[in-house]
Amino acid sequence: MDSLIFNAHLLEELFPFFFIVKEDLSIMFTGKSLQKIKPEAKSFEDTFDFVRPRLGVEYTFDSILNFKDQVFILQVKNLSSPINLKGQFVFDSHNNRLIFCGSPWITNEDFFMKSNLAISDFALHDTVFDLMQITNSLQLEFSDKAALNAEIEKQKKFYENLFDNIPVDIGIFDNELRYKFLNKNSVKDDETRKWLINKALKEYYEFRNLDTQLAEERHSFLQKAIIEKKSVRYQDIYNEFTDTEKVVLRELFPYEDNEGRNYLLAYGVDITELKKGRDELMTKNKELEKLNGELDSLVYSITHDLRTPVVALMGLLDIVYESAEFVGENQEYLSLMRKSIFRLDDTIREILNYSRNARTDIIYKEIDLLQYVNQTFESVQFYVDYKIKLETSIQADCAFYSDEGRIATLLNNLISNAVKYSRENDGHAFIKFSAKIDSSTCIITIEDNGEGIPYNHQENVFKIFHRASNTTTGSGLGLFICSEIIAKLKGKISLESIPLQGTKFTIMIPNNR
């Protein structure tokens, strides 16, 4: 028998919509009728979508080859009116290519009219063959539906099992506010849970002999969420004011599926322990606030009452010290007593300043920084028996507003420290004060050429009772109070210091105009 020679024109007469696909899925030849509707067809994947077979087939040569004994329905992509081609692939083993033999799948006259095809575009086919293809297509469709339903059922069981193991109450309502799903955490009894499907919330309350008025209140929450399409949150409290009280936080989320149907996802979380912990914490905080207030009042009262006799004693010592009756060794003892009393007064004043900062409100007013700097320096420059030069510089775009008492304490502590820990430096001891003020911020620097702060102490100088030097006496409260004041004013403080060369403090304070 002579071998059959491939004749594309003969094939075109039989199947005017045929096409040939190479191994890389490029289209190497198309029939005249297919060229009419898709003249630019170059790639199989860019030209067609699989309608049948639906499951398993992929856009690869080998995958299509495995399904060649089945009927294919291919949808032509990117047409104004969709056209499906129905047929089979034939494998040309000699040239390693697939030949699709088929025709448009026309189901009614209206579909034919919209396709812009003519009768001449079609080839005549055996009706028995068409009937066989229809039967095969129906069988494939039935098989696909069965496989799809099995997959859907599998996915459904997976998510139901997942929701059942989440420690949260979960329920889904349809747009008529009837239950469509409940997990085991919301209703533990299986029979009751099944019975509730397609039932309303009120029916459940009646079934459980619960307060139906409460059901109506909950129903109003559901209505609000689904009508307004906004989430709604509320709390359910069970066995209130008893040892078995339970608090559940519930939230309702409306959503719409792909077909435009409205549903409501409801979940509830048991927050009983969280609420108990919060209530206990609030109670303890109130008790702590009360104790702190009482302690502040006590500290303020004690330090205030202590300072009165100390100030009186200082005055008496001054009178005695100036008296001619005390000379020599006795006068030296009086001097030591005066220094001790002065140190005690400094400590009491620092404690008072700390108490005031903690217990008094901030009062903003315009502040003349230069005035406070000069006043402070005049009152502390005689802490040492050598001269210290004060240099001041202020650049102000506007007035500076802050808390007067706190700024005064801040400047007093920093400038007095600069004097106490200064060095004579052959008559060149100095303190430099500068400030830059704009509408939002005041940046203050206080610099000296004193003894400086050892490197191993610098990170701790703002801690309470920490003293970085033993050259002078002090309580270790001054810089701690400075940091507390700046924190109260929502500012920042930093330092730069080199031992035996000096220290520079930089302070940033908001300008509360």
Tens of pLDDT, residue by residue, the chain (513 residues): 444 556 777 777 788 889 999 999 999 989 888 888 888 889 999 999 999 887 889 999 999 999 988 999 999 998 888 888 988 999 988 889 999 988 887 766 666 677 777 766 776 554 434 555 566 666 777 777 888 888 888 888 888 788 788 888 999 999 999 999 999 888 888 899 999 999 998 998 888 888 888 889 999 999 999 899 999 998 888 888 888 888 889 999 999 988 889 999 998 988 888 888 888 888 888 888 777 776 666 666 666 566 667 666 767 766 766 665 655 666 666 667 766 666 666 666 666 666 666 667 888 999 999 999 999 899 888 888 889 999 999 999 999 999 998 898 899 889 988 998 899 888 899 999 999 999 999 999 999 999 899 998 888 888 877 666 666 555 667 788 889 899 999 999 999 999 999 999 999 999 998
pLDDT confidence of residue 493: 94
Helical segments of 42-171, H only: 44-47, 61-66, 109-114, 127-164
Which residue reads 């109670």 in tokens? 283
Which residue reads 């701790």 in tokens? 460
| Burial classification of residue 413, based on how many CB atoms lie within 10 Å of its CB (0-12 exposed, 13-18 middle, 19 or more buried) | buried
Instruction: Report the alpha-carbon distance of residue 235 to residue 247 in Å, rounded.
Output: 7
pLDDT confidence of residue 1: 40
String of DSSP letters for 260-305: S-EEEEEEEEE-HHHHHHHHHHHHHHHHHHHHHHHHHHHHHHHHHH
pLDDT confidence of residue 108: 63
Instruction: Report the alpha-carbon distance of residue 354 to residue 479 in Å, rounded.
Output: 11
- What three-state secondary structure class fits 224? helix
Contact yes or no for 117/104 (Cβ under 8 A): yes
pLDDT confidence of residue 37: 86
Instruction: Report the alpha-carbon distance of residue 36 to residue 117 in Å, rounded.
Output: 9
The DSSP bridge partners found for residue 182 are 171
> What domains appear along the chain, each with residue ranges and CATH number?
8-144 (3.30.450.260), 167-270 (3.30.450.20), 361-510 (3.30.565.10)
Of 77, 93, 75, the closest CA to residue 4 belongs to 93
Contact yes or no for 491/509 (Cβ under 8 A): yes
